[in-house]
Amino acid sequence: MIQYAIGAIFSIGIWCLLFAIIPKSRKPIIWSSFACGGAGPISQYWHIKDYWNPSYLIKLQIGDWIFGIEDYIFAFAFGGLCTGIFDFFIRRSGEEELKKFDIIGYIKYLLLCALCFFSMVALVSSFGLNSLHASLIAFLVFSIFIFIQLPGLVLPAVKTSFVLGSYMWVSYWGFYFRLYPDLVEQWWKSTALIGIYLGGVPIEEIIWASIASLFIGPALRYCMHNHIP
């Protein structure tokens, strides 16, 4: 019952490491983490039905909605990692550090993330798509929406996407599956996977991390500092 908790602790450990080594990105990391954290438990309402069914240390259930604190911790860490790594790359390209909290920009960020999430829900409910596939489409569409307006964000976002996809693979292959080698058979629904594995890791997990970070990475700076050339 502790497998997911171990994974959540690992992800927050990587978050702490990133927070420690790139001090100029700490504010965006914090802002994004708190914005994204709630999406973890909420999205489980759909993901548990058609994608996977992880074991929780303490399972919380409200009707058909099953979730745990692990969902929040993972989403909190993942959101911060996406934004922090993107912020590092965009500053390397010459952009200034985000120092001031822009409340209007942050509200825009929350609304943009919410709109992306509700788009995923609409694709599931209206077209019967698997929730993972629906989330990929939503992330990709909103990424393109940002890039059309600010093409300067494309390159650092692509770099962030590569880093997060690699991180997801390494965390599963190099850590998680060393402890629990049969986790895929226990948790993931076989009907939701296409059957391609990289070192035992479902390719869906790597693609999800890559596409999700393509949107989450630049979204905060797009909303809070959108005069980027």
The pLDDT assigned to 91 comes to 95
Q: What's residue 90's pLDDT?
A: 95
Low-confidence residues of the chain: pLDDT under 50: 227-229
The per-residue b/e assignment along 64-83, b for 16 or more CB within 10 angstroms, e otherwise, is eebbbbbbbbbbbbbbbbbb
Whether residue 124 contacts residue 131, with contact meaning beta carbons closer than 8 Å, is answered with: yes
Residues 6+ apart with CB under 8 A from 1: 55, 56, 57
List the one residue out of 139, 123, 142 whose CA is nearest residue 131. 123
Residue 190 backbone zone (phi > 0: left; psi -120 to 50: alpha; other: beta): alpha
**Per-residue pLDDT tens over the stretch 26-81:** 999 999 999 999 999 999 999 999 999 999 999 999 999 999 999 999 999 999 99
What pLDDT score does 229 carry?
A: 45
Alpha-carbon gap, residue 166 to 7, rounded angstroms: 16
Single-letter amino acid, residue 73? I
How much is the pLDDT for 224?
Answer: 87
Residues 120 and 68: their CA atoms lie apart, in Å, by: 21
Distance (Å, rounded) from C-alpha 9 to C-alpha 73? Answer: 8
- Per-residue confidence (pLDDT) for residue 226, from 0 to 100: 56
pLDDT reported for residue 105 = 93
Q: Give pLDDT, residue 143.
A: 98
